[in-house]
Amino acid sequence: MNERERLAAPEHARNIEYQKALEHSNKTGKCIFCDPLGPQNVTLKVGKFWRCWWNPIPYKHLEGRHFIIASIKHAKDLSELESGAGDELLELVNWAKSEFPILQHVGIVIRNGNVEGTISHLHVHLQAPDGIHTCIAVFGKGQNWPQIQKLLDEEP
């Protein structure tokens, strides 16, 4: 499997448990976002095109404030989705904002394209800053990712 065919990038995982899950995904060819219904991922809402859950491995300072919305169909790019998927995504974001008051002021990041992050599956991050700590959106975890992660870990 070459770099562009990998389902996941374990070298960018935030902890060893997540790294092992990503390695297993590449080995078995099973995307962890296509079947995210393990004990860590309690699905909050499922539509025709998308499902939403709390991120069980949030960035620092986003515990309980970081949601994932992933396409049900394995896709890497928005252009692969059926008509109506965009409308449903907006409906799901609005549902999450009304259901969870912490999401009233939220950063929305769409992970679209290859596996430069960790998971090569179209997904959306809803990140609600706590008003105290830095909240970042990571689009690609290149060679400087360890330094960035260290800076985040050092922040009080």
The tens digit of pLDDT for each residue in 80-103 reads 999 999 999 999 999 999 999 998
List the structure tokens of 120: 């090569």
Please state, in angstroms and rounded to a whole number, the distance separating the CA atoms of residues 4 and 108: 25
The tens digit of pLDDT for each residue in 27-61 reads 998 888 887 766 667 789 999 999 999 888 887 77
Give the predicted TM-score (pTM) of the model: 0.83
| Domains in the chain, CATH or no CATH each | 10-154 (3.30.428.10)
Q: Is 50 buried (19+), middle (13-18) or exposed (0-12) by CB count in 10 A?
A: buried
The tens digit of pLDDT for each residue in 114-131 reads 756 678 899 999 999 888
